[in-house]
Structure 1
Amino acid sequence: MEGDLVIRAPRAIIDGREQSAVVSVRGGRIVAIGALDTFSGKGSQIVDLADDEVLLPGLVDTHVHVNEPGRTEWEGFDSATRAAAAGGVTTIIDMPLNSIPSTVTVDALRIKREVAAPQVRVDVGFWGGAVPDHLGDLEALHEAGVFGFKCFLADSGVEEFPPLDADQFRTAMTETARLGALLIVHAEDAGTLAAATPASGRVYGDFLASRPPTAEDVAIAQVIDVTRETGGRSHVVHLSSASALASLRAARAEGLDVTVESCPHYLALDAEHIADGATSFKCCPPIRDHANQDALWAGLAASDIDFVVSDHSPSTADLKQFDAGDFGLAWGGIASLQVGLPAMWSAARERGHTLADVVRWMATATADRVGLHHKGRLAVGADADFVVFAPDEEWDVDVSALHHRNPVSAWADHHLTGQVRQTWLHGIRITNDSAPGGRLLTRGQR
């Protein structure tokens, strides 16, 4: 078994199960996978993994807010892709909002690509945005290679990315259906949120009540109805309300092309353990109670939830209002890009799941939904994107030691199990001193 790189792994996740393997790489792609006893000893670089390490495919995180240009003090392509690599994420898809300009025109996409190109340490693709004044730009953005379009059904939190009303949402999905594009939706119903008591003050329970599960449930029903009406392709981002799972399950049984993601913070953190004033935990939709979390896990196990992504949404410390602890004023978002894999694995193993499950949820299924079928798996022909993971190594999260631009995260001081020891992109190991070697991806690119 010859190649530029040969990795001998006593433990690897291949075809949905853990097994020993030798993986051979040439030209940045996997060219052969064989049994350990078939290894010929040839190869320009030979890497032997330790018995406590498992070879995983690089994760594919399709929900990352990089925020550059415009709000680079919140994050940026340099810090975000350093954090991604350190966390075993070798491909990210950048969200169209929180940067200025938002990615709602071809010119804005060009600006973002120009800014990103010299900085990225992992592969990076881009979502386009669907906002009221730029629905006429969807086709041009699609032709420019975005992976689909993000929209909101309620206030996004930034004025330059307004939500769609019911008619605009139908128009957007009619157009994305025509294009064959994926429309991804922040599904909270604006009317339901307006009817709730607005968040104000330090009490987490009050914030939770301001964004009730019905806001998600109503909006998801709308997504399903318009998907049915238009024959479009839809995806619900960051599900936190388990009560929506039944309608999503029924929609898929009906044959509708609708998928849904959740996030490590909904699956590993719960409202019962969030102190009043702890605004690092604020996100929208919110982290709900433990019973809801149990139901989310049941949905994940049953494949009612398709995959898990970070929804990495960082900010500067001042925007979190730590001094006041006011959930009504604090920025809503959780920075988690570097810790998503160990956070998810720590919670999954406690519930009897395997590393193969985590790989499916965080690498293979995410890659497949956006058409990156050559990523997120250890298979011949796939990109040689690897993670060397120590699943039993325990550690405490020190946010000041993470590569995120700001030391602000709900995961601060959490005790986790599982540590990323190495990350490889296209057969080249990424280190702190590596020059940026990531690529900018377009939809359909091989």
Structure 2
Amino acid sequence: MSHFALQSKNVIVNHNGNSEMVAACVEIKDQLIHAIHPYGSKLSCQVIDYAEHVIMPGLVDSHVHINEPGRTEWEGFNTATQAAAAGGITALVDMPLNCIPVTTTKAAFAEKLAAVDDKLWVDCGFWGGVIPQNIADLDDLLNAGVLGVKSFLIDSGIAEFPNVAAQDIRAAMPILAKHDVPYLIHAELDCGGFNNAVINEKYNSFLASRPKKWENDAIALMVEMARESKAKGDDCKVHIVHLSSDEALATIADAKREGLRFSAETCPHYLTLAAEHIPDGKTLFKCCPPIREENNREHLWQAVKDGRIDFIVSDHSPCTPELKHIDTGDIEKAWGGISALQFGLPLIWTQAKERGFSLVDLARLMSSETAKFAGLNTIKGQISVGFHADFLVFDANKSYTITNDMIKHRHHITPYAGRRVTGQILHTYVRGHHVYQQDEFLDSPVGRPLLKGQF
């Protein structure tokens, strides 16, 4: 169907930059939002009525590790984008590492683009990477269409993606500023003194090995780098990925007040899990930076509410069950990463509604702000005329328990199995194509690569 309409008593529409939930009928023509009419309007096309269910803009997840090509036994574009569609995500941005080759050159990016053919169930952008060895190649990589780049300030766990130091950051920033793309930073600095920490089956032993100070110092360094960049006239955008330390929030707030182009994200695992409740030997909960204490979690929620944290993304970082060492409970050897791509909205909604957030707020935190960050905000992230016809239909009141059987990503493991949540994605539309309906995938993959300057 290239011409049809969806309507509901509860549609999150955007008028002049402000979103609100209203009764509306959204007319779709040739994959775009053609018009927004009053609910119940008589149109010359088929109108699908979702009654009380909420029609939201499709989510935009700007932090997903898909690991293809090269490590498709960990994940892959087909399964990852199916999981995204099942979670109401209509566009995502893939991370530059855990794939082979890592996305640090134009040639490596070409390999990745060749790998996505006929596998995308949702639209997909790509981050590149900055490592000490590729700064001379950055212009070519950015001209090839990546939406921005990422670096680590600490060992990434992947030998071919080494961490950067201050001199590398200084060299990269003018190039990134010229292209006006964000510089994503895994913000942990190994401050020493913890290398002898003994990690055993106890979660707290792992938590103690990666203290808040590592994040705090890394973020302080990036504020200095951003300040220096602004003083030179470059004013590079700096973004902190997967923030977990509440002690860094004041530093981030100060950077914003100072007028630096500085932003931060956090993830469902930092907002819904707490160290006190993680059973010992449960390696599925291991991620870097770690899940911290309950008190820390509450402070992160406050920062989401007041804008110190800009948005919420999954950081879906899967691997094989063997690499998680599930049977042995060996936290030290287990690969770090949380798998939960399709459950982000219900996980967050379950807790956010108790804290006074509305679904309009979540559409901002998980769709419009993430689209803006990735440079996709002329086509994605809101229900507005002329935008891609990307929607999710949400039953905001349905409660259920997450089970491994529900999982659409490659390996059916997640730390959230057994957790009760509220809110179910019923349908997902990508550019007007109905791709997901009540646990079924429809038709065939319709997703497209989203390359900078080519949408």
**Under a length normalisation based on structure 2, what TM-score does the superposition of the two structures give?**
0.95
Cα distance in 2 for residues equivalent to 1:319 and 1:396: 26
Cα distance in 2 for residues equivalent to 1:437 and 1:428: 7
Q: Which amino acid is 1:11 matched to?
A: N
Cα distance in 2 for residues equivalent to 1:328 and 1:260: 28
Cα distance in 2 for residues equivalent to 1:416 and 1:160: 39
SS of the equivalent of 1:188 reads coil
Structure 1 segments (4+ residues) deviating >4 Å: none
Q: Give how far 1:190 is off.
A: 2.3
SS of the equivalent of 1:132 reads coil
Cα distance in 1 for residues equivalent to 2:169 and 2:333: 28
Cα distance in 1 for residues equivalent to 2:49 and 2:111: 42
Asked if 2 retains the 8 angstrom alpha-carbon contact of 1:199 and 1:327, the reply is no
- Counterpart position of 2:376: 372
SS of the equivalent of 1:346 reads helix
- Among 389, 394, 398, which residue is 1:393 paired with? 398
Give yes or no for the alignment of 1:291 onto 2:295: yes
Report which stretch shifted further, 132-141 or 53-62: 132-141
- Counterpart position of 1:133: 133
- Among 412, 421, 433, which residue is 1:416 paired with? 421
| Pairwise CA RMSD | 1.4
Asked if 1 retains the 8 angstrom alpha-carbon contact of 2:226 and 2:238, the reply is yes
- Counterpart position of 2:443: 434
Identity over aligned pairs, percent: 44
Q: Give how far 1:172 is off.
A: 2.0
Q: Give how far 1:314 is off.
A: 0.5
Q: Which amino acid is 2:190 matched to?
A: A
Cα distance in 1 for residues equivalent to 2:396 and 2:196: 43
Cα distance in 1 for residues equivalent to 2:44 and 2:75: 42
The count of aligned residue pairs is 441
Report which stretch shifted further, 368-377 or 101-110: 368-377
* CA separation of 1:196 and 1:349: change in aligned 2, threshold 3 A: farther
- Counterpart position of 1:46: 47
Q: Which amino acid is 1:80 matched to?
A: A
- Counterpart position of 1:29: 32
- Counterpart position of 2:232: none
1:77-156 pair list within 5 angstroms:
77-156=77-156
Q: Give how far 1:196 is off.
A: 4.9
Asked if 2 retains the 8 angstrom alpha-carbon contact of 1:316 and 1:408, the reply is no
Asked if 1 retains the 8 angstrom alpha-carbon contact of 2:388 and 2:431, the reply is yes
Structure 2 unaligned spans of 5+: 230-234
- Counterpart position of 1:314: 318
Asked if 2 retains the 8 angstrom alpha-carbon contact of 1:91 and 1:122, the reply is yes
SS of the equivalent of 2:341 reads coil
- Among 341, 345, 349, which residue is 1:341 paired with? 345
Deviations 1:411-440 (A, max 9, x none): 111111100000001111003242110011
Cα distance in 2 for residues equivalent to 1:297 and 1:34: 36
Asked if 1 retains the 8 angstrom alpha-carbon contact of 2:397 and 2:422, the reply is yes
- Counterpart position of 1:4: 3
* CA separation of 1:334 and 1:199: change in aligned 2, threshold 3 A: farther
Deviations 1:4-37 (A, max 9, x none): 1111111111232221111011111111112114
Report which stretch shifted further, 272-281 or 175-184: 175-184
- Counterpart position of 1:204: 203
Give yes or no for the alignment of 1:282 onto 2:286: yes
Cα distance in 2 for residues equivalent to 1:380 and 1:255: 32
SS of the equivalent of 2:280 reads coil
Structure 1 unaligned spans of 5+: none
SS of the equivalent of 1:184 reads strand
Cα distance in 2 for residues equivalent to 1:138 and 1:190: 26
Asked if 2 retains the 8 angstrom alpha-carbon contact of 1:88 and 1:387, the reply is yes
- Counterpart position of 2:179: 179
Asked if 2 retains the 8 angstrom alpha-carbon contact of 1:186 and 1:237, the reply is yes
Q: Which amino acid is 1:205 matched to?
A: N
Q: Give how far 1:400 is off.
A: 2.9
